[in-house]
């Protein structure tokens, strides 16, 4: 009876909200918000499960087959990093859905900056560590953690805490090396031939592990912007055509899975941050198989940015890389604790 009452209360509370509004309200309020359980019930009752159309092939396409019985995006709140990852993967069908035995798996966190985890400029090290552990449990042959840093790589990998956390779970941690790039014809408009860090070219599966941050040029730096870290060369040149280059990158490197770290969110003065007053503790993780929808959802929820303010989102949708209409997806939301 108590469960039925809770369900009715949740439906009444959110009866005046569209599905999209309820999703945004849930993420904005954060893990400790009152009423999130009711929102989760509302979304569960109103979730549609469309069967996605066959995706267009890209040069490095690591996507898996869609499963109409499973959500395309999950949001987990009010937990510590490892618990958030565990629940998100469980809701998505488990890591064995994404990683097969003997796979070489490359994890791409943001390790760009010489910052501590508390400054929220790099992906939370415990998020990375838990994804490593889950890959081993799924039977991976190798698990590699790497990024092409903006600041001095050794300091970035150490101070972020990612090197130690990944090593503790048995991952190979590869720092950028001038001898490990290959010139690749990327087939883009802004990105034609460019040096790409070799581990990203040789993986069986790639998991994108961005952190949600403010960015001066795009409004926010999220999943698709995280692909800048697969490139060598003079990446600052790409800022002259930043939206086109982001879409070119997203079309070149389609991940198996995106796991967006929103445990701490850098709301202002990104992407480098530094001031703890710019950081909000949200204790949240957003994960799924549609990288465009994940970027659109997080950008709208934390910075009130519509796709009209972030042209690369509409451009990516037009290329068949995902949808900006995140509320049209099958979504599951959970609140821990």
CATH architecture of the region 76-335 = 3-Layer(aba) Sandwich (3.40)
Whether the ω angle into residue 265 lies within 30 degrees of 0, i.e. cis, is: no
32 phi, psi to nearest 5 deg = -100, 10
pTM over the 0.75 mark: yes
Q: Render each residue's pLDDT in the chain as its tens digit; 337 residues.
A: 444 443 333 343 455 678 898 888 878 877 554 333 344 433 443 444 443 333 223 468 999 999 999 999 999 999 999 999 999 999 999 999 999 999 999 999 999 999 999 999 999 999 999 999 999 999 999 999 999 999 999 999 999 999 999 999 999 999 999 999 999 998 899 998 999 999 999 999 999 999 999 998 999 999 999 999 999 999 988 888 999 999 999 999 999 999 999 999 999 999 999 999 999 999 999 999 999 999 999 999 999 999 999 999 999 999 999 999 999 999 999 999 8
What was the pLDDT predicted at 16? Answer: 67
Bridge partners of 284?
77, 262
pLDDT number for residue 36 = 38
- Tell me, what's the pLDDT at 54? 33
Measured CA distances, 61 to 135, 204, 250, 323 (Å): 19, 10, 10, 17
Task: From 88, 16, 44, select the one nearest 294 (Cα to Cα).
Answer: 88
Task: Return the HEC string of the chain.
Answer: CHHHHHHHHHHHHCCCCCHHHHHHHHHHHCCCCCCHHHHHHHHHHHCCCCCCCCCCCCCEECCCCCCCCCCCEEEEECCCHHHHHHHHHHHCCCHHHCCCCCCEEEEEECCCCCCCHHHCCCCCHHHHHHHHHHHHHCCCCEEEEECCCCCCHHHHHHHCCHHHHHHHCCCEEECCCCCCEEEEECCCCCCCEEEEEHHHHCCCEEEEECEEEEECCCEEECCCHHHHHHECCCHHHHHHHHHHHHHHHHHHEECCEEEEEEEEEECCCCCCCCCHHHEEEEEEEEEECCHHHHHHHHHHHHHCCCHHHCHHHHHHHHCCCCCCCHHHCCEEEEECC
């Amino acid at each position: 009876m108590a469960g039925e009452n809770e369900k009715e209360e949740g439906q009444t509370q959110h009866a005046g909200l569209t599905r999209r509004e309820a999703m945004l309200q849930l993420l904005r309020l954060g893990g400790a918000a009152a009423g999130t359980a009711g929102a989760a019930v509302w979304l569960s009752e109103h979730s549609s499960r469309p069967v996605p159309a066959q995706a267009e092939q890209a040069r490095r396409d690591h996507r898996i087959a869609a499963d109409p019985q499973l959500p395309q995006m999950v949001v987990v709140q009010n937990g510590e990093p490892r618990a958030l990852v565990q629940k998100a993967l469980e809701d998505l069908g488990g890591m064995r859905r994404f990683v097969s035995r003997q796979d070489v798996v490359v994890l791409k966190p943001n390790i760009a900056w010489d910052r501590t985890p508390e400054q929220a400029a790099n992906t939370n090290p415990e998020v990375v560590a838990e994804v490593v552990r889950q890959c081993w449990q799924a039977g991976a042959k190798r698990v590699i953690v790497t990024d092409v840093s903006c600041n001095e790589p050794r300091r970035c990998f150490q101070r972020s805490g990612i090197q130690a956390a990944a090593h503790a779970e048995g991952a190979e941690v590869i720092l950028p090396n001038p001898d490990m790039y290959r010139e690749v014809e990327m087939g883009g408009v802004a990105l034609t031939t460019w040096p790409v860090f070799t581990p990203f070219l040789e993986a069986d599966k790639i998991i994108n592990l961005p952190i949600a941050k403010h960015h001066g040029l795009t409004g926010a730096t999220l999943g698709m912007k995280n692909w800048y870290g697969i490139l060598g060369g003079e990446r600052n040149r790409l800022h002259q055509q930043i939206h086109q280059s982001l879409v070119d990158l997203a079309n070149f490197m389609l991940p198996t899975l995106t796991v967006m770290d929103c445990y701490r969110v850098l709301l202002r003065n990104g992407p480098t941050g530094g001031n703890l007053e710019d950081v909000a503790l949200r204790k949240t993780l957003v994960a799924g198989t549609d990288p465009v929808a994940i970027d659109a959802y997080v950008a709208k929820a934390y910075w009130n940015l519509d796709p009209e303010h972030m042209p690369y989102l509409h451009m990516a949708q037009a290329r068949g890389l995902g949808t900006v209409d995140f509320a049209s997806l099958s979504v599951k939301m959970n609140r821990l604790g």
